[in-house]
Structure 1
Amino acid sequence: MLSKRKLVLYIATSLDGYIATEDDSLEWLFKVEGEGDNGYSEFYNTVDTILIGRRTYDWIIEKEKGKFPYKNKKCYVFSKSESGKNEDVEFINRDVVEFTNEIKRLDGGNIWLVGGGVLLNSFIKERLVDEFIITISPTLIGHGISLFKKSDFELELKLNGIRRFNQFVELHYEVK
């Protein structure tokens, strides 16, 4: 029997809870001494599908200078203005809950929710995220783009594990 696919948020944050500066910079993250790839390859190999918000997708295309980093995965970008597909992604302009539940029922590996912000908040509110793998950088930014937005809901988690990658700490939670 196949196990149920999980939707996983895998992301890095500053110690004070920001995923980027207000101008979308991650320079603070790359200044910290890690260990190898900080568990990225191990996680990436568990995933065959990636969900991305449009703003994060545009940022990736700009920063990677058009070289899409997830070519060997099925990638969906949630967008209100774009539709269709290109060689790397399919743009989705559908109900997030309905679409996500459809792909979670398909056979395959885990699903990675890339990015944060508004899309993440809607996924959490609708209880679509099954696991949170959050890597904390020993950096205080002071302000920027928050990992979690203010919300009107509660979500209880269970700690599955803690790992250290030199100066980074990875916390792995599952939804109760």
Structure 2
Amino acid sequence: MKNQRRIVLFIAQSLDGYIATKEDSLDWLFKVEGEGDNGYTEFYETVDTILIGKRTYDWIMNYEKGQFPYQNKDCYVFSRSSLSDTNDVKFINEDIVAFTKNLIKEEGKNIWIVGGGDLLHTFLKGKLVDELILTIAPTILGEGIPLFKVGDYQLDLKLKGTRTFNQFVELHYIVKK
């Protein structure tokens, strides 16, 4: 029997739970002294599929000056609008939960939820997330875009491990199902 693919959130947040400022800035994150790539390359090798919300995709493309950073991976961008696919991504304008339930049945490595908060909220409510790898930055923003939105859902987690990358702390959780 083949292993079922796992859906993993791998993301950085401020100590008070924000993934960006109200203005969508991550400048605060890039000021923190890490260690190497803070485990990114190791994690990136475990996935072959990436799921992104449209707002996060737009931010990435602006930040990367139009150069899509996730080459050689199957990338799906969820959008409320119908958009034409590119060489790098397929735009999905259909039910996120149904699409993802079909995707995890396919052969492959794990699936990475890149962001953002709205997309994650849909996955949490749909009980689709298998693991959370949260890298905590020693910064308190006070306000901004929260990683976890208020909603009618609950996840029980089991701590798989912790690591530090200089000033960052990584918390790795398995979702109890």
TM interval, short-chain normalised: over 0.9
Aligned-residue RMSD, C-alpha: 0.8
For residue 59 of structure 1, give the secondary structure of its aligned residue in structure 2. helix
Alignment TM-score, normalising by the size of structure 1: 0.98
User: What's 2:165 paired with?
Assistant: 165
- In the alignment, the residues of structure 2 paired with residue 171 and residue 152 of structure 1 have an alpha-carbon distance, to the nearest angstrom, of 24
Distance 1:57 1:17 in 2: 21
- How many angstroms does 1:78 deviate by? 0.3
Query: Is residue 89 from structure 1 mapped to residue 89 from structure 2 by the alignment?
Result: yes
Q: Secondary structure at the match of 1:100?
A: helix
Instruction: Tell me what 2:133 maps to.
Output: 133
- Counterpart of 1:122 in structure 2 is 122
CA contact (8 A) 2:35 2:166 kept: yes
Structure 1 match to 2:23: 23
Question: How many residue pairs get matched?
Answer: 176
Find the residue that maps to 1:85 and give its secondary structure: coil
Aligned to 2:60: 60
Percent identity of the aligned residues? Answer: 65
The alignment status of 1:6 with 2:33, answered yes or no, reads no
Which ranges of 4 or more aligned residues in structure 1 deviate by more than 2 Å? none
Equivalent-residue separation in structure 2 for 1:104 and 1:117 (angstroms): 21
Q: Which runs of 5+ in 1 are unaligned?
A: none
What are the superposed Cα offsets for residues 106-142 of structure 1, whole Å, 9 maximum, x if unpaired? 0101000011211110100100111000000000111
1:94 to partner: Cα distance: 1.0
Q: Distance in 1 between matches of 2:49 and 2:129?
A: 14
TM-score scaled by length of structure 2:
0.97
**3-state SS in 1 of match to 2:134:** strand
